[in-house]
Structure 1
Amino acid sequence: MTVLLAAVLAAAPVVQAPNATPFALDAAPIQGGIARGTAPAGTVTLMLGPTPVPVGPDGRFLIAFDRDAAPAADLVATLADGRTVRQTLTVAPRAWRIERLDTLARGTAPTEEFTRRRAPELARIAAARAVERASDGWRQRFVWPATGRISGLFGSQRIYRGEPGAYHGGVDVARPTGTPVVAPADGVVALAADAPFTLEGNLLMIDHGMGLVSAFLHLSRIDVKPGDVVRQGQVVGAIGATGRATGPHLHWGMTWRGNRIDPLLAAGAMGVGG
């Protein structure tokens, strides 16, 4: 059901759309969530806070909210005649799974060898996310790339003697090595590792358009190459335990313009067999 959110007027000149709903979103804003909407007619630019939001020819757009998103965000459209339409979105908080380990230290500092290898890997990941690729996959209802036992939740975090560790940036699905992984939506292959990364192992990234990118970690194999156009449900690789993994599983992560997104919210409840 479409969620209708109240508009908040700001500095003049501002126009208010009928029924106080300048933007109709298909989901309520929530930390780690995505929402699709329709911009007012005549929109030239659209901003979510400081982040530019592309708008399709039909006025449709996608926005997303980081795991640690603030409680409110301004969505502002600038129209062709110079007027602006503004809506302040209330972003619902999430209760994250936090594990406190008061008797364990966070861990040892990375070795020089790890740091040497890691820098170019991070540069490749950043470069893959920086390119704007044409795809309408963001419009689709996402499906699970693999079904099985969920062994890791997005946003979970350990705190070692009061020092927070990095939170879990995706959702883990435990299945045997070789289990097929399918594209959760249409997209373009942004990165297909030709050798295992230190942490991610065999890493595959698919750009679904509008800045929405899926990443699949620890794969045993990758069946596509950079630039390939993939369709929802197409087999793109297989589950493995490459990189830093304690056992075979799929780690599915999603990002939107620097924001980390919860894939579980994008795909919904897992179907039969999950």
Structure 2
Amino acid sequence: MRRLVALSLALFSQWSLASLSLLTEPVQGALVRATVPAGSQVSYQQQKIRVSQQGEFVFGIGRDELGSRTIEWVSADGQTHQQSFEIIARQFAIEKVDGLPPKMVNPDPSLAARIRADAANARKARERNDERLDFMQDFIWPAKGRISGVYGSQRILNGEPKTPHYGVDVAAPTGTAVVAPASGIVTLWQPDMYYSGGTLIIDHGFGVSSTFLHLSASHVQAGQRVEQGQLIAEIGATGRATGPHLDWRMNWMNVRVDPQLLVPAR
């Protein structure tokens, strides 16, 4: 569901008027796009983050985050401004997935090194943090199909509680087209990760990335620039999957956010 609710937070000082605008509602799991006056420097939770010359920036709110958060910015005239906001809580579903091979629920210890290597490769592919503003596009759905899983849901696999699901699942036949939800640069294609099977990652700038799991094929390669709507891959059932579907995930740095908050409702 798209959440482009403009929250204008104005701060008056004796000498100037400085304005912070959140372009996304700050709910749990949100990728929050925001603006400050051009030429400002921005810190989020006392950590300096990237901001464009025009004043655009982005940050992520994790699934379990709650409470107050603070944005501080230093405007071009040297004035320091600060604004706090409260994270809005969500309710998350419980999803039961049965019929998985036992080795996919609790893998053999001999596979630990492979699983760690897969995770390290994915983390490295998400480390890119450059000045491209591809993340400011209006995102589109990367595939057509039925929504079969949602972000934040508690997963019970073969009756065993596991960590929450951090993507949105789109069920469709193997070979269904997957397109780029926004422009970016491909930072990873690996066809055979243990859990996620065919795995593709696209970086959208400023530490924002999309990850596509369980793919049967890729039409792009690492280092390639892709444009929004371009064919990038095909849906599959590789890795830990009970049937063909796309698991689309998004990150801001290491914060896992909800892709469904960025696209039109279905």
What TM-score, normalized by structure 2, do the two folds share?
Answer: 0.87
Q: Distance in 2 between matches of 1:210 and 1:263?
A: 16
User: Is 1:154 matched with 2:151?
Assistant: yes
Q: CA deviation at 1:99?
A: 5.7
Q: CA deviation at 1:16?
A: 8.8
Q: What amino acid does structure 2 have at the position aligned with 1:168?
A: H
User: Is 1:254 matched with 2:229?
Assistant: no
1:29-44 maps to which residues of 2 (within 5 A)?
29-44=26-41
1:1-274 maps to which residues of 2 (within 5 A)?
2-5=6-9, 18=17, 22-44=19-41, 46-79=42-75, 83-98=79-94, 110-158=107-155, 165-193=162-190, 195-270=191-266
Identify the range of structure 1 (108-117 vs 56-65) with the bigger mean alpha-carbon deviation: 108-117
Which of the pair is proportionally richer in strand?
2
Q: Distance in 1 between matches of 2:219 and 2:176?
A: 13
Per-residue CA deviations over 1:4-42 (Å, capped at 9, x if unaligned) read 2365x9xxxx88963xx7311112211111222212344
Structure 1: 5+ residue runs without aligned partners? 102-106
Q: SS at 1:31's partner residue?
A: coil
The answer to whether the 8 Å contact 2:39/2:53 transfers is no
Q: SS at 2:122's partner residue?
A: helix
**Relative to 1, partners in 2 of residues 1:230 and 1:197: Cα closer, same or farther, differing over 3 Å?**
same
**Relative to 1, partners in 2 of residues 1:43 and 1:96: Cα closer, same or farther, differing over 3 Å?**
same
Number of residue-to-residue matches in the alignment: 254
Per-residue CA deviations over 1:70-125 (Å, capped at 9, x if unaligned) read 22211111345654211101111100113699xxxxx9754222202111111111
**Relative to 1, partners in 2 of residues 1:15 and 1:221: Cα closer, same or farther, differing over 3 Å?**
farther
**Relative to 1, partners in 2 of residues 1:16 and 1:269: Cα closer, same or farther, differing over 3 Å?**
farther
Q: Equivalent pairs: percent with the same residue? A: 41
Q: What amino acid does structure 2 have at the position aligned with 1:127?
A: K
Q: Distance in 2 between matches of 1:76 and 1:16?
A: 17
The answer to whether the 8 Å contact 2:95/2:154 transfers is yes
Q: Distance in 2 between matches of 1:58 and 1:168?
A: 35
- Which residue number in structure 2 is paired with residue 104 of structure 1? none
Q: SS at 1:166's partner residue?
A: strand
Q: Distance in 2 between matches of 1:268 and 1:199?
A: 29
